[in-house]
């Protein structure tokens, strides 16, 4: 007979994470968390749904009946989320399922701040330096960066200079 040193102490659970940049916790709850909860509530095998809404982020725990295979639970949640994802407000990222992990795992929220660094630079540091280092730590399932300002590169065409060099917008678009 197999003996498990650390037997499962919770029912199969799927965690849904959704970023909603710039929204206050109350807006996240009303416009993001509640619609997702409503979509997964009552799905086959779901026994309990819990959630937490924070500034710009929604976490939902969908707990299934004992014995439900995790792949089936994840598929059920994915299908239910698919029915409402397009109705979420603009600017809200598509809901994603957290990596499969046990209750022994933990979701940790870490804030990166600085007096002499702006929010865009902090976001860039978090995405390109901190995130890869944290993901290389054994046992870390996933690292998601939220908040801050995303760095963007924009090319702004100067119509007069383009005309001088014989470049048309159609020719430029065809190359891209």
**CB of 56 closer than 8 Å to CB of 20:** yes
Per-residue pLDDT, 78: 95
How many other C-beta atoms are found inside a 10 Å radius of the C-beta of residue 124?
Answer: 17
Rounded to a whole number of angstroms, the CA Rg of the chain reads 22
Q: What are the counts of helices (DSSP H) followed by strands (DSSP E) for the chain?
A: 7, 4
Q: Where are the domains of the chain?
A: 13-102, 108-176
Whether the CB-CB separation of 96 and 57 falls below 8 Å is answered with no
Task: Quote the pLDDT of residue 10.
Answer: 76
Query: Residue 111: what pLDDT?
Result: 82
**Residue 33 C-beta-side C-alpha neighbours within 13 Å:** 22
* 142 phi/psi in degrees, rounded to 5: -160, 150
pLDDT under 50 in the chain at which residues? none
Q: For residue 133, what pLDDT is reported?
A: 94
Please give the pLDDT value at position 104.
52
Fold category of 13-102 in CATH:
Alpha-Beta Plaits (3.30.70)
What contacts 133, CB < 8 A, 6 or more positions away? none
């Amino acid at each position: 007979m197999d003996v498990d040193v650390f037997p499962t102490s919770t029912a199969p659970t799927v965690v849904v994470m959704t970023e909603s940049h710039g929204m206050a916790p109350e807006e996240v709850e009303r416009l993001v968390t509640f619609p997702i909860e409503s979509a997964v509530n009552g799905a086959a095998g779901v026994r309990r749904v819990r959630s937490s809404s924070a500034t710009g982020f929604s976490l939902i725990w969908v707990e299934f009946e004992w014995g439900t295979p995790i792949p089936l639970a994840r598929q059920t949640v994915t299908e239910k989320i698919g029915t409402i994802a397009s109705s979420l407000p603009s600017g809200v990222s598509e809901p994603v399922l957290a990596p499969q992990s046990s209750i022994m795992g933990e979701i940790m929220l870490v804030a990166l701040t600085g007096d002499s660094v702006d929010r865009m630079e902090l976001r860039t540091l978090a995405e390109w330096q901190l995130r890869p280092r944290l993901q290389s730590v054994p046992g870390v399932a996933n690292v998601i960066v939220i908040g801050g300002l995303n760095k963007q590169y924009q090319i702004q065409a100067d119509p007069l200079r383009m005309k001088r060099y014989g470049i048309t917008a159609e020719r430029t678009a065809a190359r891209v």
